[in-house]
Structure 1
Amino acid sequence: MGSSSKYQTTLSVGDKNYRYYSINKAGSPESIERLPLTAKLLLENLLRHNEDIFVQQEDIDALVEWDNSAASATEIAFVPSRVILQDFTGVPAVVDLAAMRDAMNQLGGDPTKINPLKPVDLVIDHSIMVDEYGSEDAFRNNTAIEVKRNKERYQFLKWGQKAFNNFKVVPPGKGIVHQVNLEYLARVTFAEESENETLLFPDTLVGTDSHTTMINGLGVMGWGVGGIEAEAAMLGQPVTMLIPEVVAMELTGQLAPGVTATDMVLAVTQQLREFGVVGKFVEFIGDGIKHLSVADRATIANMSPEYGATCGLFPIDEQTITYLRLTGRSEEQIDYITVYSKAQNMWGADSLNSAQYHDKLKLDLGTIVPAIAGPKRPQDRIALSDAANSFKKWVSDQSELKIAPEDTSEGRYESEGGQGQEEITKSIKCEYNGQTFKLDDGAVVIAAITSCTNTSNPSVLVAAGLLAKNANKLGLNVHPWVKTSFAPGSQVVTEYLNKAELSEELNQLGFNLVGYGCTTCIGNSGPLPDPISQAINTGDLTVSSVLSGNRNFEGRIHPEVKTNYLASPPLVVAYALAGNMNIDLTKEPIGTSNEGKPVYLRDIWPSNEDIQAIVNDVVDKEMFTEKYGAIYDGGEIWNELEAVDSDIYDWPDSTYVKRPPFFEDMASTADDIKSIKDARCLLKLGDSVTTDHISPAGAIGLDTPAAKYLQDEHVKKTDFNSYGSRRGNHEVMMRGTFANVRLKNQLAPGTEGGWTRLQPDANEMTVFDAAEIYKSRQIPTVVIAGREYGTGSSRDWAAKGPLMLGIKAVIAQSYERIHRSNLIGMGILPLQFLSGQSAETFKLDGTEVFNIDAIQPNQKRVVVNVRRANQQPFSFDADIRIDTPNEFEYFKHGGILQFVIRKLL
């Protein structure tokens, strides 16, 4: 970037002068006032890089001439200020960088050129599992187990911290990545020193977790990308994107008493998902946002992936400054953030009064009621008053009632009259922890206060603590079948709950601290006690989890738990006390008091005044400065881990970290794009297949290809760990791709999980085994899918895994943004049925043979030629979902990483 740029100017803050790129110099006052905050931030980014080869004057003009009447066809380059990683997605990113150094070395280049050019922070937060719970020692023991399990991964990350510039690692047990980002890492405005001057520019980022958007609550633009895109950004490549459509959601009014920030975000998620904002940017405006703290805003911003938006952005205003001051940012930083934001016309909701949006919708916060969401999608909001009936209806709708087995000592089916109809309840006799009880359909077997979404918010955590306190006073207890856990996103949470004397109240109900990490929300819920697990399987019971997380997709929380509900932390405690989803918490007793009287939820629900008084009293700046002052100090266990000191990794024998094969036999120049000949369908899938269905996550089942590989490597079952923890080993990950226990492959009807039928002989086998046979026969494969293919977290293994299985193309009705991009980043061709068409249109059943010609630059459609046994061949057109010239370059090179290596050569 050249200092002579016509867009540069200066401003003074106190006695210091700063330079910055003024968006006001790019157009008339009227044109700048028309811009949404998103467009202003993207415009500044272009101005700051206007002398770089990837920025054209037409790009700047297109933003200044903001057209809100239609989707833009203009592609722009966006250069994030920094990159953030968590360890599940971060380890494979660092593995790829290490392998890229090997490739550079083998091709005669300088391996140290493979180095982050932007600040990169990796927070280890996804590996802790709830092995122990309900005891004072749970946190210490879970952390010790975590570090022992993940020793090889953590040693590798310590090597990376030494080997790479601009790369820092936050050790385990410090907090969840998004909350650490919000409370400590975020700059809001960068102040970059260079050549005796300081340049100010907006803090922007991409992250390898879709909930990176949580930082939008602080007025910082950032979103989740695949690990592949993040690696490219780390290596100086811009993120290419079409100028986005921007939707405004105007918030009015205030939340009613008893309504939490969680209830609010579930309402926002439902409304925006129904409206349709996939791939768009959402900005929150209106007088309502002035009443929302940054913690409340972050709760909404966090769930952008759940409502489908790329971002859920709030402006910087007085609430932002209050939060920055509370969390220990310096007064100098706060001063230049304030002055810079105002100079750029990016301060407060009022700066957006003249903004022109593609669409606008409203939500009156006063209309929101307490709610949960489930049983398997975050947008499926249910008013708390309807929750019990909704659960009963869902169970009823799933399948016809099975014929009841004869009553045995293990189980029985009870017929009970209720509400004018006969209800069937399955009960299984169970003994655990010295207690005998019956486990019923609807039993809440997991109740977890967890995740970044809600544990960033003191109001809902204090509410949970007060509800626990009120329950304890009345002598209520959590049922023995409920696995309770408390995993906040920040160490500060423990500090203020201790100060409020509420930690002990939660502990009394079994909500002891189990770790500072994602735990249950990412599927690290740990095993259920054996008697509970056996009862569930014996009776084929439909049991539930209730968690304060952001994701509840099928098979994600625990493989034995069929229904999963998102709820506020106080409602998590309430459901642990109730013990069953069939109980209507708004009308029926939640338990019985010491005096034998029924206790209702309303009897123990704390008032807003009590909650706020405690929050005001216990949350202070010193807690943040103390905890974050030691954020990189990993403690004795972490510090004792040895790490190799070398530029090139030596790849020791490990089942956690292995050199990936992506760059084997790589030439210094790209080959021509090849056609796909005589391909077979590996999977035929329906709508809403998520990256949780595709990418390996959660526990490694004993009878799976991944388990067989680990056993062949002499790994004991107790040391399998999770798929997420083994993302640095492609051998495990490719075996777990498409192996989710809830995946339904229409090629293998009647099955759930990673099953398919090998064509043409139709033998049923695992997806991995079939893929290996196809590869041995040199037969490429494709995936056929329905709508919203790849919805969910930004998981690079949802693209890497299919590549390693030999999949060359996906043909779907529509894609989620991140996954489509990741497929291209790994050299897989994303094709889309034309509007109104689908696999059913052409009666595709997965037994066909497919041929697809090699594509060319700027080509928008391709012909898919199809052959069926004993039938006439036919063909259909499909849209090529390679949306930008940059994406085509990545695809041509076989992937984005190959493109970067060849460019650096």
Structure 2
Amino acid sequence: MTTTGHDSLNTRRTLDVDGKKIDYYSIPAAEEAGLGDLSRLPFSLKVLLENLLRHEDSRTVTSEDVSALAGWLKEKKADREIAYRPARVLMQDFTGVPAVVDLAAMRDAMVKLGGDPEKINPLAQCDLVIDHSVMVDKAGSQSAFKQNVDLEMERNGERYSFLRWGQKAFDNFRVVPPGTGICHQVNLEYLAQTVWTTKDQNGNEVAYPDTLVGTDSHTTMVNGMAVLGWGVGGIEAEAVMLGQPISMLVPEVVGFKLTGKLKEGTTATDLVLTITQMLRAQGVVGKFVEFFGPGLDELALADRATISNMAPEYGATCGFFPIDAETINFLNFTARDPERVKLVEAYAKAQGMWRDANTPDPEFTATLELDISTVVPSLAGPKRPQDRVLLTDAASSFKTALPVLSGNDAGIEKKVPVKGTDYSIGSGDVIIAAITSCTNTSNPSVMLAAGLVARNAIAKGLTVKPWVKTSLAPGSKVVTDYLNRAGLQDDLDTLGFNLVGYGCTTCIGNSGPVAEPIAEAITEGELVACSVLSGNRNFEGRVSPHAKANYLASPPLVVAYAIAGSLNIDITKEALGEDKDGNPVYLKDIWPTNQEVQETVQAALTRDMFVAQYSDVFAGDAEWQSIKTAEGQTYTWDSGSTYVQHPPYFEGMKKEPGDFSDINGARVLALLGDSVTTDHISPAGAIKADSPAGDYLNDHQVPVKDFNSFGSRRGNHEVMMRGTFANIRLRNEVAPGTEGGVTRHMPDGTQQWIYDASMQYQKDGVPLVVFAGKEYGTGSSRDWAAKGTRLLGIKAVVAESFERIHRSNLVGMGILPLQFPEGVTRKTLNLDGSEKVDITGIADGIKPRMAVPCTITRADGSVEKLELLCRIDTVDEVDYYRHEGILQYVLRKLSAS
């Protein structure tokens, strides 16, 4: 995807790179054409500006749009909606399968509308990496990897067959098979190019910044190598795939100045947890964050990627690092095409996108500053990634949090014997220690540090406590290569950190079962057991149903806590264990020096590893290649499948959309508090037998052992809608005192599953609404959090504030996001869920951010009137809502072309 514009500013120029001519759209030429001095524009906005220059066509992108972005420097913001076209789309399999299901269904719908199904085809490059399906069923043994992979293939055969069909049926669609790596690390190490190239309609090669959107929040990791990208819902990603621009407001850009370098004993993980806490406190939701300052020169690209990865945790759209010498070093070391690497440097310098020590600092909306040398060892928890805890305070912090976490007065002294063993466990004990997730497994320094801690611990005679489930899930096969080359995988194996798979595993809830006697002890004693993981997400109910407290930590600290076995131990002062002679061994005795880590990185990691592992990355192994799949341009749906079903979004769809309509007589399906995450809303994790989704699978003769996870069944809307708002930690104030997917059906007040109540309301023709507090929809970019909401008959969500991605997804599914006026909340209104709700003024038409009248009628007949803010933010979103969703909008547009 290059350009459809006519370049009214005449900015197209030609770059000569070693004698090869490549066209590009020049920012300096735009300056000369009257846009003024843009040298101090943030680097991330220069990427957006180039995108507008390349697509300026006087229709979707106008010269006024270009001027507005160029004028950002005047006010450090620009209240302007722009049409942005990323170069490509990245998907993982949990979110990718439903996206391909939707594309397949759109082909069927196109046929019914009398159009050509071949028009439903990705126009932008789309890569799907299968990384979310492997579960840690087996751990702590040499056979764990093979056993987990065999189970993965057995469970997911239907999904993988479907994806192989998609790989054949759709153009510009590639699949990286299972057992390769985490999508963000594969993107960082192979897919991303920093500068992208394509041929225009005349066959000329055009260069432009590599940009993307991904169906996973942590797509942001690739910003560490100056590739502008962020997570979107599957709905929005599909639209980009189909050639539609992303409608977005020009963002504010917060500059984060880094100085100094990490001091002895600290890691990149400690740094990112510090940055996450600082930026959450600053408030950067909906904003770009861009890093600058001399501290960048002290950060390896892997460290930058670690920081960029956690942009969703600090709330920003992205955390961007500009192109510099380290970017070039990384591209060379990871075996990118040498010609491409030369192009990246030449292009960046020609465009004013190159940073070095002499580059003036950009101007920003606001700035923060951190001296990296002040960073200290840290964790984050027990249930939010921004809640940083100093390692020195971890034990006391857990003790303080315990009463709230447990809901009872039992302290850390209570111990419960574990059947069949000679030990007991109590609250604060670590039952899961997992080195997992893209954040840290992409970073050789912390991965090798973990191996060095393991080696030093073994030398001292230390072992992991028997109640701890240990696992290692690298982000790519390159990690295994360098751990083996350093001889450290053997040490990790000795402690039980055996390879369990190449995927996200524990960080997304695929932690697998803990030993049954341990689970029984936790349940019997109502214990608050802990997990320690090197991931980026620790929301309640996410990691394991048996771990109520979850802490993010660097990989070497994960190893240390596996040895200590408890959060109640202050590992900075107390012994982890005893050596062979009975002497106490402390953390400082096994912690490697920074120099030792860096020397190990330099000795263990080679360019040839990247050449070998990515030489034929899309082929897959013999088992992948042997999967049988359907043929043809439209999919042959299997009505008996419990994994892939034809979705209902296009049923009865007409060629033209209907009119806007008000929402009258709605009931409140859920009344929710602050920081309700997409994990609370979207089906995720294990499927419980005693739940609506479990009932569905039982009715289809699926044994409980084969239920698999919600994520693996995202291609089946029947399963997913039954799991929406069903998280075990969801607290619905319509049914006070309960946890899980429960509500009361009104007006009789009968307590029911949310799914069952929804079906009854829909049968009776009653529309539904949800009320919520601040930061509604934080967390992963789960499209099912919006799709499930739509299928449950919810017409509007009213909240105090929304997280960016989920608000966009709601609009993309034809759901109206509305915001309370300042100072008004569900609590000030004394809502209890028995009310009827009328939302009016919509039938007359919608304008972005208009005021929407709302009338609340209480059970006693009293009435409350207020005005809500419509959070349909752009005119394109108005069109999506009118068409009842972005896919319907795209389908109608393509069928009419």
Common fold: TM-score over 0.5:
yes
Q: 1:167 to 1:598 in 2, by over 3 A?
A: same
What is the CA distance between 1:468 and its match in structure 2? 0.3
Which AA in structure 1 matches 2:166? G
- Shifted more, 351-360 versus 683-692: the winner is 351-360
Q: Which of residues 666, 672, 681 is equivalent to 1:694?
A: 681
Q: 1:904 matched to which residue of 2?
A: 894
Match of 2:447 in 1: 461
Residue 177 of structure 2 contacts residue 620 of structure 2 at CA under 8 Å; is this kept in 1?
yes
Question: Unaligned regions of 5+ residues in structure 2, if any?
Answer: none
Contact residue 71 and residue 78 of structure 2 kept, 8 A: no
Deviation at 1:191, TM superposition (A): 2.1
Distance 1:3 1:350 in 2: 37
Shift of 1:835: 1.4
Residues 1:196 and 1:671: Cα distance change in structure 2 (over 3 Å): closer
> Alignment partner for residue 713 of structure 1, among 695, 700, 719?
700
The 2-side partners of 1:350 and 1:556 are apart by: 43
Deviations 1:321-371 (A, max 9, x none): 111111101211111110000000001155862522100110110000000
Tell me how far 1:555 sits from its aligned partner. 0.3
Aligned partner of 1:131: which letter?
A: D
User: Structure 1: which 5+ runs fail to align?
Assistant: 405-422
**Alpha carbons of structure 1 residues 820 and 350: separation in structure 2 relative to 1, 3 Å:** farther
Give the 5 Å matches for 1:535-614: 535-614=521-600
For residue 15 of structure 2, the aligned residue among 11, 32, 42 is 11
- Which of 315, 334, 338 is residue 331 of structure 1 equivalent to? 338
> What is the aligned partner in structure 2 of residue 486 from structure 1?
472
Q: Which residue of 1 aligns with 2:92?
A: 86
**Residue 831 (str. 1) matches residue 818 (str. 2):** yes
Other-structure match for 2:872: 882
1:52 shift after superposition: 6.2
Q: Is 1:812–2:816 an aligned residue pair?
A: no
Tell me whether 1:746 sits opposite 2:733 in the alignment: yes
> Residues 109 and 30 from structure 1, CA distance in 2 versus in 1: closer, same or farther, beyond 3 angstroms?
closer
> How many residues end up aligned between the 2 structures?
884
Aligned AA (2:452) = L
Distance 1:400 1:622, change over 3 A: closer
SS in 2 for 1:63: helix
Residues 294-333 of structure 1 correspond to what in structure 2 (within 5 A)? 294-333=301-340
Task: Summarize the alignment of residues 191-590 of structure 1 with structure 2, pairs less than 5 Å apart.
Answer: 191-194=197-200, 195-348=202-355, 353-398=360-405, 401-402=408-409, 425-431=413-419, 435-590=421-576
Structure-1 residue corresponding to 2:744: 757
Equivalent position of 1:798 in the other structure = 785
Alignment of 1:615-634 (within 5 A): 615-634=601-620
Deviation at 1:838, TM superposition (A): 0.9
SS at match of 1:31: coil
Q: Secondary structure at the match of 2:822?
A: coil
Counting aligned pairs with the same residue, the percent is: 57
**Change in 2 beyond 3 A, CA 1:400/1:455:** closer
- 2:124 maps to 118
Following the alignment from structure 2 to structure 1, what is the Cα–Cα distance between the partners of residues 467 and 413? 17
Contact 1:10 1:17 in 2 (8 A): yes
Query: In structure 2, what is the Cα distance between the partners aligned to 1:349 and 1:68?
Result: 25
Compute the displacement of 1:885 (Å).
0.1
> Which of 102, 110, 118 matches 1:96?
102
RMSD between aligned residues? 1.3
In structure 2, C-alpha distance between the alignment counterparts of 1:630 and 1:11, rounded to whole Å = 31
Decide whether aligned partners of structure 1 residues 757 and 96 sit closer, same or farther in structure 2, where only a CA change above 3 A counts: same
Q: CA deviation at 1:398?
A: 4.2
Question: How far apart, CA to CA, are the structure 2 residues paired with 1:75 and 1:48?
Answer: 17
Q: Deviations over 1:15-41 (max 9, x none)?
A: 111110001222258521131112111
Question: Quick check: 1:684 aligned with 2:648?
Answer: no
Residue 151 of structure 1 pairs with residue 138 of structure 2? no
Structure 1 residues 385 and 609, CA gap change in structure 2 (3 angstroms): same
Counterpart-to-counterpart distance in 2, 1:366 and 1:796: 40
Match for 1:794: what amino acid? S
- 1:303 Cα deviation after fit: 0.1
Letter in 1 for 2:205: T
1:441/1:541 contact within 8 Å kept: yes
What secondary structure is seen at the aligned counterpart in 2 of 1:33? coil
Name the amino acid aligned to 2:81.
E
C-alpha spacing 1:529/1:248, structure 2 compared with 1 (3 Å): same
> Deviation at 1:871?
3.0
Alpha-carbon separation, structure 1, partners of 2:812 and 2:171: 24
Report the equivalent of 1:862: 852
- 1:745 is matched by which residue type in structure 2? N
Which shifted more, 300-309 or 647-656?
647-656
Shift of 1:560: 1.5
Please tell me whether the aligned partners of residues 728 and 741 of structure 2 are also in contact (alpha carbons under 8 angstroms): yes
The equivalent of 1:407 in structure 2 is none
Amino acid of the residue matched to residue 232 of structure 2?
V
- Which region of structure 1 is more displaced relative to structure 2, 239-248 or 25-34? 25-34
Shift of 1:872: 2.5
Secondary structure of the corresponding residue to residue 414 of structure 2: strand
Q: Residue 365 of structure 2 aligns to which amino acid in structure 1?
A: H
How far apart in 2 are the matches of 1:726 and 1:854? 39
CA offsets, 1:680-724, max 9 Å, x none?
000000000000000000001121110000000000000000000
1:821 maps to which of 808, 830, 834: 808
Secondary structure of the structure 2 residue equivalent to 1:249: strand
Scaled by the length of structure 2, the TM-score of the pair is 0.97
Q: How big is each residue's C-alpha offset from its partner over 1:517-556, in whole Å with a ceiling of 9 and x where there is no partner?
A: 0000010000111111111101111100000000000100
- Alpha carbons of 1:899 and 1:36: their partners in 2 closer, same or farther (altered >3 Å)? same
In the aligned structure 2, how far is the partner of 1:649 from the partner of 1:192?
A: 30
| Separation in 1, partners of 2:341, 2:180 | 25
Give the match for residue 41 of structure 1.
47
Residue 565 of structure 2 aligns with an amino acid whose one-letter code is: G
Task: Verify the 8 A CA contact 2:426 2:527 in the aligned structure 1.
Answer: yes
Matched to 2:785, the amino acid is A
Distance 1:864 1:490 in 2: 51
- 2:657 is aligned, of 666, 670, 673, to 670
Displacement after TM superposition at 1:587 (Å): 0.4
Q: Which amino acid aligns with 2:96?
A: G
Contact 2:334 2:607 in 1 (8 A): yes
**Structure 1 SS opposite 2:413:** strand
- 3-state DSSP class of the match of 1:266? helix
Tell me if structure 2 keeps the 8 A contact 1:209–1:225.
Answer: yes
Preserved contact between residue 108 and residue 634 of structure 2 (Cα < 8 Å) = yes
Mapped partners of 1:851, 1:71: distance in 2: 36
- Say whether residues 1:645 and 2:631 are aligned partners: yes
CA deviation after TM superposition for structure 1 residue 868, in Å: 1.2
Instruction: Write the deviation string for residues 647-699 of structure 1: whole angstroms up to 9, x where unpaired.
Output: 00011121000000000000010000111110000000000000000000000
1:862 is displaced (CA, Å) by: 0.6
State how far apart, in whole Å, the 2-side matches of 1:26 and 1:841 are.
Answer: 52
State the Cα distance separating 1:266 from its structure 2 match.
0.2
Equivalents in 2 of 1:352, 1:229: separation in Å? 36
Give the distance between the partners of 1:563 and 1:891, measured in 2 at CA. Answer: 39
Provide the residue aligned with 1:77 in structure 2.
83
Contact 2:6 2:56 in 1 (8 A): no
Shift of 1:480: 1.0
AA at the equivalent of 1:722: S
